[in-house]
Amino acid sequence: MMPRFAPFAVRALAVLAVALPVLATSSSAPAPDFSLPSNSGKTINLSQYKGQVVMINFWATWCGPCRQEMPLLEGIYKKYNKMGFTMLGVNVEPDSKPAEAWLKQTPVSFPVLFDKESKVSTLYKVSGMPSTVIIDRKGNVQFIHRGYKPGDENEYLNSIRSLVRQ
Amino acid sequence: MPFLKRWLALAGLVGAALGVTTQAFAGVLPEDRADVLYHRYQGGGITIDGPSVLIRKKFGDKFSVAANYYQDMVSSASIDVKLSASKYEETRKQKSISFDYLRGKATYSAGVIDSKESDYIADTAFFSLSQDMFGDLTTVSLSYKRGWNHVFRNVKQADGTKIRDPTFEDGADSRGYSVGLSQILTRNLILALNYEVITDEGFLNSPYRSVRFATPGGGFSLEREIYPRTHTSNAVSARLKYYLPYRAALEGSYRFYTDTWGVIANNVEINYTQPAFKRWILDGRVRYYKQTHADFYSDLFPRSQSQNFEARDKELATFDNIAIGVGASYEFTIPRVRWVQKSTVNARFDHLMINYDDFRDATQNDPANGIVAGAEPLYKLNANVFELFVSIWF
Amino acid sequence: MRVTRVLFAAVAVVMGLSGCSIQPWVKPYEREHLADPIMAFDRNPVSSAYLDHVFEAREGARGASGSAGGGCGCN
Q: Whole-prediction pTM value?
A: 0.86
Which of A149, A152, A153, A154 to mutate to test binding with chain B, by most B CBs within 10 Å of its CB? A149
Gap from A64 CA to chain B (nearest CA, Å): 10
pLDDT at residue B17 above 70?
Answer: no
Count of alpha carbons within 13 angstroms of residue A76, beta-carbon side: 27
| Cα B2 from Cα B4, distance rounded (Å) | 5
Inter-chain residue contact B61 with A151, CB threshold 8 Å: yes
Q: Searching chain A, which residue's CA lies closest to the CA of residue B60? A: A150
Tell me what pLDDT residue A5 has: 58
For the ranges A79-83, B4-8, B329-333, B389-393, which has the lowest average pLDDT? B4-8
Gap from C18 CA to chain A (nearest CA, Å): 16
Inter-chain residue contact B61 with A127, CB threshold 8 Å: no
Q: Please, which pLDDT band fits residue C72 given cuts at 50, 70 and 90?
A: confident
Q: Which CB contacts under 8 angstroms, 24+ apart, belong to A146-155?
A: A146/C75, A147/A65, A147/C74, A147/C75, A148/A65, A148/A66, A148/A68, A148/A69, A148/C74, A148/C75, A149/A65, A149/B61, A149/C75, A150/A68, A150/B61, A151/B61, A152/A69, A153/A69, A153/A72, A153/A76
C-alpha distances in Å from residue B146, one per residue of B9, B12, B125, B198: 13, 10, 5, 10
**Cβ neighbours of A121 in C, within 8 Å:** 27, 29
Q: How large a percentage of chain B has pLDDT more than 90?
A: 79
Three-state DSSP state, B153: strand
Which of B32, B58, B61 to mutate to test binding with chain A, by most A CBs within 10 Å of its CB? B61
Which of A57, A59, A63, A146 to mutate to test binding with chain C, by most C CBs within 10 Å of its CB? A63
**Cβ neighbours of A66 in C, within 8 Å:** 74
Let me know: does C28 contact B137? Beta carbons within 8 Å: no
Phi/psi of residue B71, nearest 5 degrees: -135, 140
Three-state DSSP state, A142: strand
Average pLDDT, chain C: 80
User: Taking residues A42-51, what's their average pLDDT?
Assistant: 94
Interface size between A and C, measured as CB pairs under 8 A: 48
Average pLDDT, chain A: 86
* Direct distance between the N- and C-terminal alpha carbons of chain B, in angstroms, rounded to an integer: 43
Of the candidates B16, B137, B179, which has its C-beta nearest C53's C-beta? B16
Binding-face residues of A in 139-158 toward C, CB within 8 A: 146-149
Instruction: Give the burial class of B100: count Cβ atoms within 10 A of its Cβ; 0-12 exposed, 13-18 middle, 19 or more buried.
Output: buried
Other beta carbons within 10 Å of B61: 15
Tell me what pLDDT residue C69 has: 66
- Per-residue DSSP letter, A31: P
**What pLDDT, in 10s, does the model give residues B203-259?**
999 998 999 999 999 999 999 999 999 999 999 999 999 999 999 999 999 999 999
Tell me what pLDDT residue A4 has: 64
Let me know: does A36 contact A46? Beta carbons within 8 Å: no
pLDDT at residue B20 above 60?
Answer: no
Tell me what pLDDT residue B174 has: 96
Phi/psi of residue B137, nearest 5 degrees: -85, -20
Binding-face residues of A in 52-71 toward B, CB within 8 A: 64
**Cβ neighbours of A131 in B, within 8 Å:** none
Gap from C41 CA to chain B (nearest CA, Å): 8
Inter-chain residue contact B180 with C44, CB threshold 8 Å: no
Tell me what pLDDT residue B227 has: 97
**What pLDDT, in 10s, does the model give residues A79-113?**
999 999 999 999 999 999 999 999 998 999 999 99
pLDDT at residue B306 above 50?
Answer: yes
Q: Searching chain A, which residue's CA lies closest to the CA of residue C25? A: A127
Tell me what pLDDT residue B348 has: 98
Is some CB atom of chain A closer than 8 A to the CB atom of B135? yes
Q: Searching chain C, which residue's CA lies closest to the CA of residue A69? A: C75
The CATH classification number of A26-164 equals 3.40.30.10
Residue among C53, C58, C62, C60 at smallest CA distance from B387: C53
The domain ranges of chain C are 24-58
Tell me what pLDDT residue B160 has: 77
Q: Please, which pLDDT band fits residue B123 given cuts at 50, 70 and 90?
A: very high
**What pLDDT, in 10s, does the model give residues B72-95?**
999 988 887 777 777 788 999 999
Phi/psi of residue C70, nearest 5 degrees: 85, -150
Inter-chain residue contact A118 with C29, CB threshold 8 Å: yes
Q: Which domains are seen in chain B, by residue range?
A: 5-393 (2.40.160.40)
Q: In the structure, how many helices (H) and strands (E) does chain A have?
A: 5, 8
**What pLDDT, in 10s, does the model give residues B148-173?**
999 999 988 888 788 899 999 999 99
Residue among B174, B181, B122 at smallest CA distance from B144: B174
**Cβ neighbours of C75 in B, within 8 Å:** 27-28
Tell me what pLDDT residue C15 has: 55
Q: What is the dihedral of CA B54, B108, B187, A149, to 10 degrees?
A: 90
Let me know: does B190 contact C26? Beta carbons within 8 Å: no
Is some CB atom of chain C closer than 8 A to the CB atom of A94? yes
Per the document, the length of chain B is 394
**Cβ neighbours of C2 in B, within 8 Å:** none
Binding-face residues of A in 114-143 toward B, CB within 8 A: 127-128
| Cα C64 from Cα B141, distance rounded (Å) | 12
Inter-chain residue contact B23 with C42, CB threshold 8 Å: yes
Average pLDDT, chain B: 91
Q: Please, which pLDDT band fits residue B16 given cuts at 50, 70 and 90?
A: very low
Of the candidates B139, B321, B391, which has its C-beta nearest C68's C-beta? B139
C-alpha distances in Å from residue B363, one per residue of A147, B156, B219, B313, B374: 65, 22, 11, 15, 12
Question: Is it true that the peptide bond before A130 is cis, omega within 30 degrees of 0?
Answer: yes
Tell me what pLDDT residue C73 has: 75
pLDDT at residue A14 above 80?
Answer: no
Tell me what pLDDT residue A20 has: 41
The domain ranges of chain A are 26-164
pLDDT at residue C40 above 80?
Answer: yes
Tell me what pLDDT residue B26 has: 66
Let me know: does B143 contact B129? Beta carbons within 8 Å: yes
Whether ipTM > 0.85 holds is yes
Tell me what pLDDT residue B87 has: 79
Tell me what pLDDT residue B201 has: 97
User: Taking residues B56-66, what's their average pLDDT?
Assistant: 93
Gap from B223 CA to chain C (nearest CA, Å): 22
pLDDT at residue C12 above 70?
Answer: no
Q: Please, which pLDDT band fits residue C14 given cuts at 50, 70 and 90?
A: low
Do strands B106-117 and B88-103 pair parallel, antiparallel, or not at all (unpaired)?
antiparallel
Let me know: does B346 contact B389? Beta carbons within 8 Å: yes
Pick A28 or B321 by higher pLDDT.
Answer: B321
Which of B23, B80, B312 to mutate to test binding with chain C, by most C CBs within 10 Å of its CB? B23
Gap from C8 CA to chain B (nearest CA, Å): 10
Gap from C29 CA to chain A (nearest CA, Å): 6
Binding-face residues of A in 67-86 toward C, CB within 8 A: none
User: Taking residues C8-20, what's their average pLDDT?
Assistant: 58
Inter-chain residue contact C41 with B192, CB threshold 8 Å: yes
Tell me what pLDDT residue B225 has: 94
pLDDT at residue B189 above 60?
Answer: yes
C-alpha distances in Å from residue B64, one per residue of B136, B206, B274, B372: 20, 37, 30, 60
For the ranges B60-64, B251-255, B323-327, which has the lowest average pLDDT? B60-64
Other beta carbons within 10 Å of A22: 8
Per the document, the length of chain A is 166
Rg (CA), chain B: 23
Is some CB atom of chain B closer than 8 A to the CB atom of A149? yes
Inter-chain residue contact C53 with B190, CB threshold 8 Å: no
User: Taking residues B347-375, what's their average pLDDT?
Assistant: 95
Q: B: neighbours with 3+ CB pairs under 8 Å?
A: A, C
Locate the DSSP E strands across B263-360.
264-276, 280-292, 319-332, 342-360
pLDDT at residue B63 above 60?
Answer: yes
- Per-residue DSSP letter, B226: B
pLDDT at residue A21 above 60?
Answer: no
Q: Please, which pLDDT band fits residue A149 given cuts at 50, 70 and 90?
A: confident
Of the candidates C27, C32, C73, which has its C-beta nearest A121's C-beta? C27
